[in-house]
Amino acid sequence: MSAMRAVTDRPITSSRSSPLSPQRRIELKVASDPANLAGVRKAIEEFAAGMGFDEKAVAEIGLCVNEAMANVIRHAYQGRTDRPVHVTAAAEKADGGKEQITITLRDWGNGVDPSTLPQRPHDPHTPGGVGLICLRQWMDQVLYTRQPDGMLTTLIRRKR
């Protein structure tokens, strides 16, 4: 299961001149192997670029997805590389008519909601600890929805 599988309703495009329809969506089913981080990040970045997000926003969205998935691997699965992670991205209309990207990461891990944990002070000399900071700073909404057998993380970024 270490290979990444993508299920799309249309080919991914990075054309910035033709925004995607509000029903546009991709689905990625991957194993919790860190080797899959780059492929997932690239697929989400291409999707966001195809929606017309600018380069800075695309990079921020990609980094947030990378960090969220790394947290799933590290914390929900305690580093196991053979557990499933389902990632979806959808182009939607937000309130007010602006387009937004909604990204979900579904895991079957320990079900711990990271937003309920005490925030440790960031120490630039200690690895880790910046993922949640990036999510809070660059996404418009971050939601953690406990599932009976894991967690659903939802990341929302509106076009500015």
* CATH at 101: 3.30.565.10
Q: By percentage, how much of the chain surpasses pLDDT 70?
A: 78
The pTM of this model reads 0.82
Q: Which domain holds residue 129?
A: 5-158
Render pLDDT for 6-32 as a digit per residue (tens, 0 to 9): 544 433 333 333 444 444 899 999 999
Contact 138, 63 (CB under 8 A): yes
Q: Is the dihedral of CA 35, 38, 39, 41 positive or negative?
A: positive
* Total number of domains in the chain: 1
Judged by average pLDDT, the poorest of 1-5, 42-46, 54-58, 118-122 is 1-5
* Angle CA 15–21–26, to nearest 5: 80
Give the rounded distance of the alpha carbon of 83 from its chain centre: 17
Count the residues in the chain.
160
